[in-house]
Amino acid sequence: MNKQELITVVSLNLGVSQKMVTAVLNEIIEVIGDTIANDQEVLLVDFGKFKSKFKKGRNCRNPKNGESVYIEDATIAIFKAGKKLKQKVNIIREKNESI
């Protein structure tokens, strides 16, 4: 599912306009991005946690040619699924595998 498909489904489920859902979703994404960029976490109980993590630069090898490459320091975005989300995914997977 892509962003537009998500907007369409939420719009139909809630009976509100796609324009409104788009505005809300865009604002949520912006707030989460700003928050984790400022080294804070966003915890959505039962869904998961968004946070940032600093990764120190390191030397690696290019698998195609074996050449040594240095990867710069970087701050990356991390999402860790919450307990109920994990349970839901496992229940759906088990149902699909039993078919």
| pLDDT tens string 46-99 | 999 999 999 999 999 999 998 999 999 999 999 999 999 999 998 877 777 766
pTM, full prediction: 0.77
The residue type found at 76 is I
Edge-to-edge strands, sheet with 48-55: 42-44, 48-55, 74-81
Together in a domain, 79 and 61: yes
Alpha carbon 15 to its chain's center: 26
The CATH number for 49's domain is 4.10.520.10
Together in a domain, 22 and 61: no
- Total tally of structural domains belonging to the chain: 2
Give yes or no for a contact between 51 and 75, defined as CB atoms under 8 angstroms apart. Answer: no
Together in a domain, 33 and 47: no
Together in a domain, 47 and 36: no
Give yes or no for a contact between 41 and 51, defined as CB atoms under 8 angstroms apart. Answer: yes
Domain membership of residue 36 as a residue range: 1-40
pLDDT attached to residue 99 = 62
pLDDT tens sequence across 8-27 = 999 999 999 999 999 999 99
